[in-house]
Amino acid sequence: MKKFLAILLIFALSISIVACKSNKETPANEDPIIEEPINEPNEDEGNEDEPESIEVTLYFANEDYIETGDESLEILIPERREIETREDKLGEAIVRALMEGTESEKAQTAIPSTSTLNGVEIIDGTAFVDFARDGMYGGSLQEGLTINQIVASLIELDSVDSVQFLIDGEIEESLMGHYIINKPLTAIE
């Protein structure tokens, strides 16, 4: 019985060695299989996920108006700027650019530096601008200029007719406690 088991074991081992050796060898006349990726982008089509440079008009608060309160002055100063973004993220990119500010000595951003933008979504012509409650505070002048900067900059887009401000995803009465924002705004105050 021991001889039979030993012979059976040697036979099984021999078959295993031969099988392993044949898997490692590839015939010389056989070409390797190269898998092609499925759904390669067409060279003529643009990749929707890649950012593109888009020229926009941003509006910033006029320094002279802030310092003097002279109502004969323009409240906002337009600035043309190239923004690198995807088309579906343009609204958010505009508000983030406004938050970063301007290099102009005649203008500044009124958006509080402590504010946090949760996001911007454009649906059926309305840009929903969502800020976090934390850090969104300031006086009535700062709130009015913040609202005006954002509304004026976003309604420049063909896809935006109005702007609805949200606080933590909800419609609230006011952004900083001075102006009513519970309905979409269509023009600057």
Domain boundaries, the chain: 52-167
% residues pLDDT > 70 (the chain):
74
Give the pLDDT confidence of 53-110 residue by residue, as tens digits.
999 999 999 999 999 999 999 999 999 999 999 989 999 999 999 999 999 999 999 9
* pLDDT surpassing 80 at residue 16: no
Q: What is the pLDDT of residue 50?
A: 83
d(CA 145, CA 54): 25
What are the pLDDT digits (tens) for 152-184?
999 999 999 999 999 999 999 999 999 999 999
pLDDT exceeds cutoff 80 at 4 = no
Q: How confident is the model at residue 49 (pLDDT cuts 50, 70, 90)?
A: confident
Above 50 in pLDDT, residue 44? Answer: no
Instruction: Name the phi and psi angles at 160, rounded to 5.
Output: -120, 125
